[in-house]
Amino acid sequence: NRDTVRRLVPLGLAVSATVILYTYAVQHTTAANAVLLVNSAPIYVAVLAPLLLGEPRARHTWFSLALAFTGMALMTDLARLDVQSGEVTGILAAALSGVGYGMAMLISRSLRGRISGLTQNLWSNGTIVLVLFPWALRAPGAAVASNLHLLIPLGIFSLGLSYLLYFQGLQRISAQQVSVVSLAEPVFGVLMGLVFFAEIPNAIGWIGAALILGSIALITR
């Protein structure tokens, strides 16, 4: 119906904005800046979900967020944060990507019971294709062909499977819980670095990972 479509359009635009802004941020500021700011989304969700969705505030929301952000700060090493003037646009893009990420969670949760997570995923990725198609046409064909082995898995796992599971999760648990659970991303990044690249985190990094996992266990109780 029309009301569902009126929610699907902003959902597709929110996901598109998140992807575009985060990609831009990674290219124009440090990875630590980008990761911390895009994952500011749970703050917006914690504030807005009870107001916009009528969700009861989870008992340990704020304490879980404090644990999670402390853990992320330890994992990403605050000493690497850089706010040089030349990176202002990248930092702003990362911050706005966090806003887009939070909005996508709230809109998806509002669609619970109306349409499936699969439909939301197809709609969102279809919107991304439409928005980015003009830029795709400008990419050199040779460059695209030589990087297909990276681009295809990136599309499948980063945009396809991850958002599908994410939307499916929002069908079953609150937006506040999903927002905190999504902060496990840097933990899995560390584990993948350990398995595939033999990158061993220092003790502080392991403490940060433990705090993030603790925050997830606390809010999902």
160: pLDDT strictly greater than 80? yes
Name the CA radius of gyration of the chain, rounded.
18
167: pLDDT strictly greater than 60? yes
pLDDT digit string, tens, across residues 101-155: 999 999 999 998 888 999 999 999 999 999 988 888 888 888 888 888 888 988 8
Report the mean per-residue pLDDT for the chain: 82
Query: Cα(214)–Cα(221) distance, rounded to whole angstroms?
Result: 11
Q: How far apart are the first and last CA of the chain?
A: 36
The sign of the dihedral angle between the CA atoms of 138, 143, 145, 147 is negative
Query: Cα(60)–Cα(180) distance, rounded to whole angstroms?
Result: 11
Q: Say what the pLDDT of residue 47 is.
A: 82
Cβ atoms of residues 14 and 128 within 8 Å? no
Query: Cα(154)–Cα(190) distance, rounded to whole angstroms?
Result: 18
The sign of the dihedral angle between the CA atoms of 104, 107, 110, 114 is negative
Query: Cα(56)–Cα(178) distance, rounded to whole angstroms?
Result: 14
Query: Cα(66)–Cα(159) distance, rounded to whole angstroms?
Result: 28
Q: Say what the pLDDT of residue 61 is.
A: 79
Q: Say what the pLDDT of residue 100 is.
A: 93
Nearest to 158 by CA among 4, 14, 34, 15: 15
Sole residue written with tokens 């990674």: 26
Q: Say what the pLDDT of residue 90 is.
A: 85
Sole residue written with tokens 């009870």: 50
